[in-house]
Amino acid sequence: MRMRLLAILVSIGIVGMSQGLIIPLLALLLEREGVSALFNGVSTTMLFLGVIVASPFIERVVRRYGARRTILYSTILCILMTVAFPLWQNLYAWVAFRLVLGIGLAGLFVATEIWLNRILTADNRGRVFAFYGLAIAIGMMVGPQGINLAEYALAAPFAVSAVSYLIPLVLTWRASDEGSQLEPVQPGQGSEVRRWWRIFWVAPFAMLASFVYGYLDGALVGDFPIYGSRLGMSDASISLTLSVFVAGSIVFQFPLGWLSDRRGRRPALMLAASVGLAGFLLVPLAADSEWMLMSVFFGIGGALGSFYSLGLAYLGDLIESGDLATGNVLYTMIYGIGSLLGPSVTGLLIYKVNAHAFAWSIAGMLLLYVAFGIWQGKAERRSGQGADMISSVGS
């Protein structure tokens, strides 16, 4: 089991590193070329569009070949696309490469989540998924530092990213297939769309955590380089600020995982979203000082850096084991939709309003999530009270 866990965690860590490097690096390169913030944001969404398009098919691949082999195939595809960027420096070719890279990353996301959820129990899911979130966070922290390699050669950061994929490739190759195979879909469960709809409404608050994190993630890595550039920050300061966000995530990953195991996933998600909302409202006020801005980003990262893994652990608690694969696919798709909208909407707001719309956009999404959580909590309490009244009348 240790080798399987190591292969899963290293694989998802490299995914975090790839996103943390490739997305802001391409955004900075396009910004220097004078590409508009709107087109830059839309171009960033192509990676996440690839995640959305591929996710429904990844479940079929996992059911046929197993999670382990799916990780191997997806890793090879990511290597090829990463190498392609510096070899063909064309704006529209980069859009296509991002789309295909998103397909590869979708395979890694879905396959690692399915494999991990199948080998975990309710007792250890929160703590182990804290490691999962930690792996992503470490990758996201290391990734932006690779932007500085572009000063030596444009191909340097892409080469480092491509070589890094060889580590999980070897580990996954050596890991056993145990737990990576899925059972066939049972007859009578309906079409995929009907299964998605049913599973979504079993755990809407958990599913929407994926959407909110995707929106945050896409806007952060896709639009913060634009925001920082318009504030007059250097490339080094921009990459350091992104790394500080991830450092906060690393520090608070285990406390939030422990809290979710002890007090419940839902309260942990509500607390994280509320703190993150307050943090993004402070971002424009801290924009005049890089050190103050980094301090705010450290706190935001601490609150929101484990949001994706908390929601995923909550999902594993709520749905039946037979639905885990479909639930993981839907969770990844919803993350992709959020990631698609995040940089597009935020880039448009920066273009139409001003640079600080970057923070207001993410704060607005967090406010909607907190409001939904409050509404759903009240609705569930009213439903519970109604059931108690019916029970007492019947007795």
134 — pLDDT class (breaks 50, 70, 90): confident
Compare 256 and 82 and report the one with higher pLDDT: 82
Give me the mean pLDDT over the 227-252 stretch: 87
Residue 184 covered by a domain: no
Cβ neighbours of 149 (radius 10 Å) = 18
- The torsion angle over the Cα atoms of residues 297, 300, 301 and 304, rounded to 10 degrees, is -160
Q: How far is CA 6 from CA 160, 171, 367, in A?
A: 21, 7, 36
With 70 as the cut, is the pLDDT of residue 235 above it?
yes
On whether the CB atoms of residues 214 and 337 are closer than 8 A, the answer is: yes
- What is the model's pLDDT at position 343? 84
% of the chain with per-residue pLDDT over 70: 91
Q: What does the alpha-carbon distance between residue 175 and residue 41 come to, in Å, rounded to a whole number?
A: 38
Residue 187 domain-assigned (yes or no): no
How much is the average pLDDT of 162-187? 80
Q: Is residue 47 part of a domain?
A: yes
35-92 pLDDT per residue, tens: 777 777 778 778 878 888 888 888 888 888 888 999 999 999 999 999 999 998 888 8
Quote the domain boundaries for residue 122.
2-176+195-381
Mean pLDDT of 215-239: 87
Nearest to 382 by CA among 205, 390, 274: 390
- Span of 114-118, 381-385, 389-393 with lowest mean pLDDT: 389-393
Average pLDDT, the chain: 85
What's the whole-number mean pLDDT along residues 318-328? 80
What is d(CA 127, CA 257) in angstroms, rounded to the nearest whole number? 5
User: Quick check: is 183 in a domain?
Assistant: no
Nearest by Cα to 240 from 135, 148, 357: 148
Indicate if the pLDDT at residue 187 is higher than 60.
Answer: no
For 230, list phi and psi in degrees, rounded to 5: -75, -15
pTM: 0.78
Per the CB < 8 A criterion, the answer to whether 137 and 257 are in contact is no
pLDDT band at 362 (very low <50, low <70, confident <90, very high): very high
The domain that contains 264 carries what CATH number? 1.20.1250.20
Report yes or no on 190 lying in a domain. no
Alpha-carbon distance of 244 to 265, in angstroms, equals 25
Q: Is the pLDDT of residue 13 over 50?
A: yes
Query: What are the pLDDT digits (tens) for 274-290?
Result: 999 999 999 999 999 99
Please answer whether residues 75 and 342 qualify as being in contact, where contact means their C-beta atoms are separated by less than 8 angstroms. Answer: no
Q: Looking only at Cα atoms, what is the longest distance across the chain? A: 78
The answer to whether residue 188 is domain-embedded is: no
Write down the pLDDT at residue 186: 59
Residue 388 inside a domain? The answer is no
What's the domain count of the chain? 1
Q: Is the pLDDT of residue 392 over 70?
A: no
Distance CA 14, CA 219 (A): 20
pLDDT of residue 303: 93
Assigned token pair, 353: 């309003």
* Residue 126 counted as domain residue: yes
